[in-house]
Amino acid sequence: MCISRSPTPSRARGTAGFTLVELVVAILVSSLVAGIIFQVLSGQGRFVAQQTAREESLQNARGALDVLGSELRAVHPQGLVIAESDSVEFYAPRAWGVVCAAVASGASQVTAIFPDVPDMSFDADGSGGLPPTAGVQFALGDPLTTDWPAASVTSLTKRSISDCAAIAPGAHNVRVVRFTTSSTLPAVPAGTRLYYFQRVRYSLGSDASVPGTWVLRTAGSTGATLVQKPFAGPVPASGANRLRFMYYRNGVSTPVARLGTPAERRQARSIGVRITTESQPSQGGPRQSISDSVTIYLRNQGEQ
């Protein structure tokens, strides 16, 4: 009697499968590839964050140069009052008007009529109010030839159009303002032009509202003291090019780092400005800084 036995169960021929060694190798290779991909993507992310930070710094510097340049281009020959390598101070023209009534020699008040244009003359805060008098000056006649400044302002007072009825009867969209000065005025007839200026300063410094060092700009006043607020930045903690001015004079080809006397400042033809700002990348890492520069030609500066 024959008894047949079934064969011992084993892996069927042709059936797919992996051994433990094959699985371990596959896992290791997959991990290596995933690590490489992660490093590439992470590096690209850091690169993008750094480039974005550099672009922010560049736009910050360019915006500051645009504003500073627009103000400096309109400076009159005697309006540049401080010209140092890391700061500049000047009288920026804000508006011009017409004297309403003749001013007698030795008087301390003058009333003038101005176009009522927001952000041009006496509406700096958007409320229709008059600005602080700190740093306010005005010149009578042609400021290109008038001794600077004609008068320092101690108070500004709104007046009615009736004060200018003789030269502007029935005028609309105008602002009538009376200037009181700390000095005596020369005799001027009605209809004389009156130019209104505000003192502006750019320099480096800090402010309690933000960390770091910034380019500061005049922003209002406290009593008779001009107040500066952060304007552009932050800037690097050190370095000559954080805010740098170079001055070119009429008839002189070599720039200088400062103009120390009124006579030298009246000769200023153009000003080179360089600003360096920095920004922190969103993914961390070193702060990114970049510089930008411009040469500003003072449009009202002629051969003096």
**Sign of the dihedral defined by the CA atoms of residues 69, 71, 76, 81, in that order:** negative
d(CA 244, CA 222): 28
Q: How many percent of the chain have pLDDT more than 90? A: 14
Task: Evaluate if pTM is beyond 0.75.
Answer: no
How many C-beta atoms surround the C-beta of residue 258 within 10 A? 16
Residue predicted with more confidence, 273 or 193: 273
Q: Where are the alpha helices (DSSP H) in 7-99?
A: 20-72
Q: 69 phi and psi, to 5 degrees? A: -65, -40
Distances from the Cα of 163 to the Cα of 140, 159, 186, 187, angstroms: 18, 7, 20, 18
d(CA 224, CA 228): 13
Q: 67 phi and psi, to 5 degrees? A: -70, -45
Which of 20-29, 70-79, 139-148, 198-207 has the weakest average pLDDT? 139-148
Task: Report the pLDDT averaged over residues 274-297.
Answer: 84
d(CA 15, CA 8): 17
Q: How confident is the model at residue 128 (pLDDT cuts 50, 70, 90)?
A: very low
Q: Smallest Cα–Cα separation from 133: which of 97, 178, 78?
A: 178
Is the pLDDT assigned to residue 44 strictly greater than 70?
no
- Burial string for 71-89 (b: 16+ CB within 10 Å, else e) reads bbebbbbbbbbbbeebbbb
| Rounded (to 5) percent helix, strand, coil in the chain | 20, 40, 40
Task: Report the pLDDT averaged over residues 110-137.
Answer: 60
Residues 6+ apart with CB under 8 A from 290: 54, 57, 58, 61, 276, 277, 278
Is the pLDDT assigned to residue 46 strictly greater than 80?
no
Distances from the Cα of 17 to the Cα of 10, 24, 62, angstroms: 13, 14, 65
What SS3 state is found at 276?
A: strand
Spatial contact of 163 and 177, defined as CB atoms under 8 Å apart: no
Q: How confident is the model at residue 273 (pLDDT cuts 50, 70, 90)?
A: very high
Question: Residue 249 has which token pair?
Answer: 């004079």
> Nearest 10 degrees: CA dihedral of 227, 229, 231, 236?
120
Q: What is the pLDDT of residues 214-223, one digit of tens each?
A: 999 986 665 5
Residue predicted with more confidence, 113 or 35: 113
Residue predicted with more confidence, 89 or 144: 89
Report pLDDT for 124. Answer: 41
Spatial contact of 241 and 254, defined as CB atoms under 8 Å apart: no
Question: Residue 250 has which token pair?
Answer: 């009429």
Q: How confident is the model at residue 272 (pLDDT cuts 50, 70, 90)?
A: very high
> Nearest 10 degrees: CA dihedral of 244, 250, 255, 259?
-60
Q: How confident is the model at residue 150 (pLDDT cuts 50, 70, 90)?
A: low
Q: What is the pLDDT of residues 235-261, one digit of tens each?
A: 888 887 899 999 998 888 899 999 999
Report pLDDT for 125. Answer: 40
Whether the upstream peptide bond of residue 77 has omega within 30° of 0, thus cis, is: no
